[in-house]
Amino acid sequence: MIRKHLALAFVLVLGLAFLNVTALNAQSVMEGKITGTVTDDKGELLPGVSVEISGVSIMGKRATVTSGRGTFVFLNVPPGKITMTVSLAGFKTWVQENLILGAGSSLEVNPALQAGAIEEQITVLAASPIVDVKTSTVDSRLDSELLAKLPTSRDAFYDLALTTPGMFDVGSSGSWQPSPTAYGGSSMENVFLVNGVNTTNPRGAAFGSLVKVNYNAVEEVRVVALGSRAEYGSFSGAAIDVLTKSGSNKLHGNLAYYTELRGGFFKENYPVTQVGDPNVPLPAPDNWLFYLAGDKLAGRTLKNWEGNFTIGGPIIKDKIWFYGAFDYIRSASMPVNWDLQNTYLGRYADLKISAEPFAKARAWASYHYESNRGAGWSWGTQPGWDTTMTYGVGSKNNTLSAQFQWLPTGSTIVTAKYLGFWTDDQPFVPDDAPSNVGFINWWKWGPSYGVEGAFPYVEAQKSTRQTIQGDVSTYVEDFLGEHDIKFGVQYTKGRGNWMGGYFQNYANFTYPLGGWWGYYSGLGYAIWALQTQTWYNYGESNFGFDDGLLFYNRQEHLNPFLTVRTADSLGLFVDDQWSPTKRLTLNLGFRFDRMSTKYGEGKVFDYLTQPSDINDPNLGVIRTRAGTDNIFDFKTFSPRLGVTYQLTNDGKTVIRANYGRYYMPLAVEFLRRFGPDMPFVDRHWQVYGIPWAQVDLDDNGYVDSTGVSGVNELREAVRLIAPMLNSTANGMLYENITSDDYSWTLNVADNVKDTYTDQFSLNIERELMKDFSLSATYIYKHSANLFVNVPINTQTNEEWEYERITYDPNFGDLVDLYSIVLADYNGDGVANSTDIGYLGTINDFRVENMQSYNYTDGGPMIKPQRTYQALQLVLNKRYSARWQGLASVVYSWSSGTAQRTQRQNDNMMGPMLTDDTWMGSVNYTVNNMDGRLPFVPTWEMKASGSYSVPVVDMDLGLRFRFHTGRPLWRLEGYPARTQWGGPPDGIIATGGGRIVSSTEPYILPSLALFDLRVEKALNIKRYGSIHVVLDVFNIFNSANVTNADYSGLWGRIEGISDARRFRLSFMYQF
């Protein structure tokens, strides 16, 4: 009979593989397992014993009987507190309460029955085991009791992840990339899950979760980064797994209000200066860092409050239960270096129905809705960007998940799941935005600017992800020991749809003409060099560099468009938790994944008549855009192997080891946002001239492009173009209109393999006392097959031929730069400067697995890889005796290549990110193949927990986070030749323009943050309790440096930890 059920289940699971859907990046392990052996008080095995478990999370009761060997098992048990009742005629009934089971964990309970009447009851007072003797995964979990007492930002993903060991922040609080670094990995390697729904932004994990979570509805947060099971899919960082609460037979819930205190409670944690004041350096040895005069680095809260309501209970007792939640958030703040309010409105609603519709069946369905609206945002900060260059986004998310379980026998469960979410962004510019479009400079002559007009860019995600999973769990005890086997198939259909264009149908990209690396000094760009080494003249007046500074404005007119990018996969997995002996458990897991990305069919829309038309569902469609075949198509096989051994008979000391291969999840961000079959862009090449008297304001002979003189003269000169825009009568010197195809498809080599990480960890854990354990872990991670986008010659479809030119950086060691060999590329019979200009028309990039490079010609070749090693110590205290806590110390060391030349204030990695090509130039490898990895501190210490103060009935909660500073590398430009000239010793390159000066980094100062929570509860008999809470964040108002400029204004502090904040809350709990 069992074989029949298993055969049917296998056919069900296999059959799902042929559905017309595509697959999954990661799948949550939402439930745990309880096993044990029942004996009498003499140790004799007892078959036929009735074993029953009950609890709030189970909602009803579950029962089984022991086998002929006295063993029992409960599979797929929801996490939470559980009561176990064991009974057999002729023996006293055995009861143990407050057994605690976590998601993905195993709990072993071995009741010993005493002879007596079954009506007699023995309640066991032993503590629930805190050491998992079966699982080889080394994870971190925050249960509901701890979550309720910690001072947190109420962010269930990023903020809570940083509470756990090995998770490192990626910049200042509120970063646009809320995804941590997990044990040295990239923030693109993580995955975010809610109730089994993969809510990771399809654009890439670095952009966090597309779904927000009602914090008060969270039951448990689990961070899995070491030794995960095969059921967890393709990720090589951390799986941040959020499980929400369910209903029960008892009505329960809360009504809460939270507000941040303002006014005199706020105090800046940095020196307040005005533009023109002296810069303020940090004390030695960190005096290479400085506060730029006039910078505003502590955002000020104007309002921040939240209303929250949750309720759960029975619909039909012991049959159907519900849980609902609603959250309303309003905030307004003055952010860092930005004199325009950021406003936010968030509304979340949740409903979860759980049921046991008939015998041997369980089911639940969950729906989450959210409506968000934020405004006052921009892509830059002051003084580089004007506050007129602002936009906002309204977004709606719908998330649905459901599960059905069938129990053909007491030891077999067949499960089917549906998981999906849909998001719809609706961007906008303010109603009072300027009618003209601002002027943007992204890269030339210094820091970026966006001035004198309205924000142009449209970015709207229209993303979806839908997943189906079928799996079978079965428990077998008569085949060389006990086996808990789970196998299944997972499919997800993901769409990272992206709507782009310009609110006003065009954008201005405005750059100074001429100028190369050698023109620059500490004061700015030398006017004499521009005058003597360039020869541009325009207009009837023959305006040239003798007269003033020339700008070219690339004005681009483009239809709105929809780019469809897919990141799909198919996953097959099997996990076997095999216990050949009582003390030895082997965790054997294997999975196969097929992961692919491509462009789907997109759309081209009519020009907008007004900016708000971008959100018109009836916006006219001109045509459908063609898609592509698969661009990435990986077939991967991942072993997940672990072993657990109980060193002591009491099960309180366990040693674990695990090895696994983990592949980087594919992200649509690796595909550029434009894609194939784009609408043509009408490009207006315009030239404007600004007299020197209006440019060189301090008359020192230099154009200040960074603000070192107190005024950014380049940026102020650009403002003078606005009255002349598009009109020769008003001063435009020149205009030429061309049409260009914006279509672009990622070029991928045939033999490219997915980036992978081999991971090994060795752990020992000991229960020191009741509810208190200590564990020590050695961690080793090695990543290879790193992605790069290598410049190639489209005439040969091969990489360029290079020669090496020696260069002595100002701040680093002697290196040999890569310079393209000058040849007759344009076919005119002569190899000269015109061929240098022609390179841009025959240059492309191809994604390959990175090869070895050296820093000097003939020097040792350095193999591309990333290696991370760490020693970790964790103290885990479950709530009892009035206190609970989680504390950790991590000491780590690392080496390898990274994207140091492009992005040091975020930790994304991939061949194409935010339209930036890695590598834009082979010179990105110089001084960049080895050394410490970014975002990896040497030391990390964390502590969080709570204590219930007796007599006064008050709870104190705390969080402390310390780490030594992360490394920062100074970047430096190098001399380059162009078609217009350049230094004779300059190189010929395809792009890039800068190198890592030295392999030895600077180190940011250490970070230390301490948060405190004080809670007073007032109990109301029979009606619940009222809680008054004060949270204090960064209680010592520390100014921890998180970000600094690594190029233009070297050492300028750009981000610090948030200043001290106070939050007062009131909650009624029932």
For 886-908, write each residue's pLDDT tens digit. 999 999 999 999 989 887 888 88
Categorise residue 384: left if φ over 0, alpha if ψ from -120 to 50, beta otherwise.
alpha
Q: Token digits for 183?
A: 């044990």
Return the pLDDT at 75.
87
pLDDT (mean) for 299-320: 93
pLDDT number for residue 27? 52
Residue 578 has pLDDT above 60, yes or no: yes
* Range 618-646 average pLDDT: 96
Mean pLDDT of 949-964: 95
Does position 246 have pLDDT exceeding 50, yes or no?
Answer: yes
Phi, psi of 8 (to 5 degrees): -60, -40
Q: 746 and 792 in contact (C-beta within 8 Å)?
A: no
| Distance in angstroms (rounded) separating the CA atoms of residues 797 and 793 | 5
Place 19 in a pLDDT band, splitting at 50, 70 and 90: very low
Q: How confident is the model at residue 299 (pLDDT cuts 50, 70, 90)?
A: confident
> What is the spatial distance between Cα 655 and Cα 968, in angstroms, rounded to a whole number?
37
- For 2-124, the fitting CATH number among 3.40.50.2300, 2.40.10.10, 2.60.40.1120, 3.50.50.60 is 2.60.40.1120
Half-sphere exposure of 539 (CA within 13 A, CB side): 19
pLDDT at 142: 93
In degrees, rounded to 5, the angle at the alpha carbon of residue 1062 between the alpha carbons of residues 1056 and 1068 is 135
The pLDDT mean for the chain works out to 90
pLDDT for position 589: 97
Identify the pLDDT of residue 14.
Answer: 44
Please enumerate, as own/partner, the contacts of 91-94 that have beta carbons within 8 Å and a separation of 24 or more: 91/40, 91/46, 91/115, 91/116, 91/118, 92/116, 92/117, 92/118, 92/120, 92/121, 92/122, 93/118, 93/119, 93/120, 93/121, 93/122, 94/121, 94/122, 94/124
Q: Are 140 and 164 in contact (CB under 8 A)?
A: yes
Phi first, then psi, for residue 2 (nearest 5°) are -65, -40
Q: How many CA atoms lie within 13 A of 864 on its CB side?
A: 19
What three-state secondary structure class fits 617? coil
486: pLDDT confidence band, cut at 50, 70 and 90? very high
Give mean pLDDT, residues 948-976.
93
Comparing 224-233, 554-563, 971-980, which segment has the lowest mean pLDDT? Answer: 971-980
Using the predicted structure, report yes or no on whether residue 797 has a pLDDT greater than 80. Answer: yes
pLDDT at 121 over 80: yes
- The average pLDDT across 655-672 equals 90
The whole-number pLDDT of residue 897 equals 94
Burial code of 784-807, b = ≥16 C-beta within 10 A, e = fewer?
A: bbbbbbbbbbeeeeeebebebbeb
3-state helix, strand, coil in the chain (%, to 5): 5, 50, 45
The predicted model gives 524-532 an average pLDDT of 88
In which residue are the tokens 């990105």 written?
924
Residue 667: the pLDDT is: 80
- Over residues 110-128, the mean pLDDT reads 85
- What pLDDT score does 12 carry? 44
Q: How much is the pLDDT for 1005?
A: 97
Instruction: Give me the mean pLDDT over the 1020-1042 stretch.
Output: 94
Q: Is 72 helix (H, G, I), strand (E, B) or coil?
A: strand
Ordered by start, the domain boundaries in the chain are: 2-124, 138-503+560-676+746-785+866-1026+1035-1069, 506-557+680-741
Distances (CA, A) of 525 to 515, 534, 712: 8, 13, 12
pLDDT tens readout for residues 1002-1022: 999 999 999 999 999 999 988
Who wins on pLDDT, 531 or 768? 768
**What's the pLDDT at 136?**
93
Instruction: Kindly indicate the confidence band of residue 18, based on its pLDDT and cuts at 50, 70 and 90.
Output: very low
- pLDDT attached to residue 17: 40
Indicate the Cα dihedral angle 334, 179, 27, 589, nearest 10°. Answer: -160
Contact by Cβ (8 Å): 394, 428: yes
Q: In sequence order, what are the beta bridge partners of 380?
A: none
Amino acid 23: pLDDT: 36
Q: In whole angstroms, give the CA distance from residue 562 to residue 860.
A: 47
pLDDT at 952: 87
Q: Distance between CA atoms of 736 and 300, rounded to whole angstroms?
A: 46
By three-state DSSP, how is residue 298 classified? coil
Length of the chain: 1070
CA distance 9 to 573: 15
- pLDDT by residue (tens digit) across 427-468? 999 999 999 999 999 988 888 999 999 999 999 989 888 889
* H-only helix segments in 535-653: none
The C-alpha atoms of residue 495 and residue 474 are separated, in whole angstroms, by 34
The mean per-residue pLDDT over the stretch 81-100 comes to 91
How far separated are the first and last CA of the chain, in Å rounded? 47
Report, as an integer, the average pLDDT of 959-971.
95
Instruction: Tell me yes or no: is domain 138-503+560-676+746-785+866-1026+1035-1069 CATH 2.40.170.20.
Output: yes
Q: How much is the pLDDT for 973?
A: 85
Indicate the pairing of strand 39-40 with strand 112-113: parallel
pLDDT for the residue 510: 97
What's phi and psi for 335, nearest 5 deg? -75, 180
Is the predicted pLDDT of residue 30 greater than 90, yes or no?
no
Partners of 575 in the beta sheet?
A: 486, 589
pLDDT over 80 (residue 21): no
Segment 941-949 mean pLDDT: 97
Q: What is the mean pLDDT of residues 659-677?
A: 88
Q: Pick the residue with more confidence: 354 or 299? A: 354
Whether the pLDDT of residue 263 is over 80: the answer is: no
418 or 103, greater pLDDT: 418
Q: The tokens of 188 are what?
A: 């693109």
DSSP per-residue letters across 169-193: --SSTT-S----EETT--GGG-EEE
pLDDT at 738: 95
Running DSSP on this structure, what letter comes out for residue 150?
S
Q: For 737-774, what is each residue's pLDDT tens digit?
A: 999 998 988 889 999 999 999 999 999 999 999 999 99
Are the C-beta atoms of residues 93 and 121 closer than 8 Å to each other? yes
Token match 């339209």: residue? 915
Q: Residue 556 in contact with residue 495, Cβ under 8 Å?
A: no
User: pLDDT tens across 799-814, in order?
Assistant: 999 999 999 998 888 9
> Is it the case that residue 11 has pLDDT exceeding 80?
no
Q: Fold identical between 2-124 and 138-503+560-676+746-785+866-1026+1035-1069?
A: no
Identify the band that residue 522 occupies on the pLDDT scale cut at 50, 70 and 90: confident
Beta strand 290-291 pairing with 280-281: antiparallel
